[in-house]
Amino acid sequence: MNRYPVSSAIAQGNGYTIVENASLEGRNTFRVPARAHLLIDVKKPEALGEVLGFPYLKNSPVLVLGEGSNVLFTRDWPHVVLSMSSQGIAVESDEGDACRVRVAAGENWNAFVHWSLARGFAGLENLVLIPGSVGAAPIQNIGAYGVEVCEFIESVSAWDRHGGQPVELDLADCRFTYRDSVFKQEADRYIVTSVEFRLPRARDPRIGYAGIAEELKALGFCEPTHAQVAEAIARVRTRKLPNPALIGNAGSFFKNPLVGSAKGADLRQRHPDLPCWPTSDGQLKLSAAWLIESCGFKGLRRRHAGVSEHHALVLVNLGGASGAEIWNLAEEIRDTVHARYQVMLEPEPRIL
């Protein structure tokens, strides 16, 4: 792992800091060891022009890293890691029934959700407790409990590495779909600097996702406020998903696979318990967790890597695992599911 000298040289400019030979172990929620040749922490988006103009960076791959909750390092990163740590939440305009709010990329997502609820805005409650930064939220169009973040995004401000300038992408430019966007399709072309949200003041709570109405009832919330929906969702999430502060993981390791209607109908006929949901474009979204559990992987341990005993879609670092070890287990799961169901699972985290 340690291909670089152990010492770290530090340089500082106006709005950025550069660390050489930086450890990334505390910067990924799998907690696997990895090092970056250079780690550049950018506090002011205005500094990006200067930083990206350094001759070394012009031709070097640049990995943009947020809070590392959706990445798996299988080896050291022998290039530049760029972290956007800019802060700030600003109300840009108030339209009465909604506000436009600009949030800097380095803000924490869950803190922003609570900021919005505390000010009486509605909508983000279903996305409570998703780890990570605001700048990463558009990358895979984060979603949970029947809501996707694209429903609230007006525009995304970014630095375009192709054009060498700041750009603003509107909703259509972002090409959001399930766990996908232009930012993922053209990885590292855009460095997100801030996101503009349109937050409504009123909206019917969306509580149709399995288990949420029951949780609200158990809490005694008959006509729940948005903050109460957030509380119910946080409780469900805490029961289902391992806390990365206690056990390394990146949430769902695979996306729920989408299949065509004929293939979906065939699978449903042979496996009537397989949970699946129709999509607006006529496909069927299958439960990856069910496919994995049915192959016997839930709770399985392979040396230091394993599958959570609470959720079959979550791979975990049982302590001391390398990224390669976790990736080997992921490949075994993917290949076993494919051999049994002819469905190819795709990883959700970025594999490096």
Closest to ligand EPU by CB, 13 vs 211, is 211
Q: Let me know if 252 is a catalytic residue.
A: yes
Per CB under 6 A, which region of 155-163, 186-194, 252-260, 322-330 contacts ligand EPU? Answer: 252-260
User: Considering only residues 201, 240, 268, 304, which one is a binding residue for ligand EPU as defined by CB under 6 A?
Assistant: 240
Binding mask 304-343 for ligand EPU (x = CB under 6 A): -------xxx------------------------------
User: Considering only residues 49, 260, 275, 320, which one is a binding residue for ligand EPU as defined by CB under 6 A?
Assistant: 275
Closest to ligand EPU by CB, 224 vs 349, is 349
Closest to ligand EPU by CB, 239 vs 303, is 239
Structure tokens at 259: 């299949």
Helical H segments across the chain, by residue range? 48-52, 55-58, 109-118, 171-174, 182-185, 212-219, 226-240, 261-270, 288-294, 323-341
Q: Which does 133 bind (CB under 5 to 8 A by kind): ligand FAD, ligand EPU, none?
A: ligand FAD
State the residue for tokens 């502060």. Answer: 245
Rounded CA separation 335/344 (Å): 8
Q: Decide: is 244 part of the binding site for ligand EPU (CB under 6 A).
A: no
CB of 136 to ligand FAD, least distance (A): 3
CB of 135 to ligand FAD, least distance (A): 3
Structure tokens at 106: 């380095």
Residue 142 sits at the vertex; the CA angle it makes with 140 and 146, to the nearest 5 degrees, is 135
By CB atoms closer than 10 A (0-12, 13-18, 19+), residue 167 is middle
Give me the residues paired with residue 117 across strands: none
Q: Which does 64 bind (CB under 5 to 8 A by kind): ligand FAD, ligand EPU, none?
A: ligand FAD
CB of 107 to ligand EPU, least distance (A): 20
The 3-state secondary structure of 272-322 reads: CCCCEEECCCCCEEECHHHHHHHCCCCCCEECCEEECCCCCCCEEECCCCC
In order of 68, 115, 274, the CA distances from 108 in angstroms are 12, 11, 35
Residues in the chain: 352
User: Considering only residues 139, 195, 207, 337, which one is a binding residue for ligand FAD as defined by CB under 6 A?
Assistant: 139
Rounded CA separation 123/154 (Å): 14
Closest to ligand FAD by CB, 130 vs 169, is 130
Closest to ligand FAD by CB, 123 vs 135, is 135
First CA to last CA distance, the chain: 14
Rounded CA separation 42/117 (Å): 28
CB of 4 to ligand EPU, least distance (A): 31
| The amino acid at 118 | A
> CA torsion sign, 141 to 142 to 143 to 147?
negative
Q: Decide: is 144 part of the binding site for ligand EPU (CB under 6 A).
A: yes
Q: Which of 252, 287, 308, 322 is catalytic?
A: 252
In order of 16, 146, 190, 351, the CA distances from 28 in angstroms are 21, 27, 21, 12
Q: DSSP label at 261?
A: H
Closest to ligand EPU by CB, 197 vs 253, is 253
User: Considering only residues 35, 161, 311, 350, which one is a binding residue for ligand FAD as defined by CB under 6 A?
Assistant: 350
Q: Let me know if 223 is a catalytic residue.
A: no
Residue nearest ligand EPU (C-beta atom): 251
Structure tokens at 198: 């349109």
Contact 93, 103 (CB under 8 A): no
Q: Decide: is 191 part of the binding site for ligand FAD (CB under 6 A).
A: yes
Active site residues: 179, 252, 348
Binding site for ligand EPU (CB under 6 A): 144-145, 210, 240, 251-252, 255-256, 275, 287, 289-290, 293, 298, 311-313, 348
Binding site for ligand FAD (CB under 6 A): 29, 63-71, 84, 105, 130-133, 135-137, 139-140, 142-144, 183, 187, 190-192, 241, 244, 249-251, 350
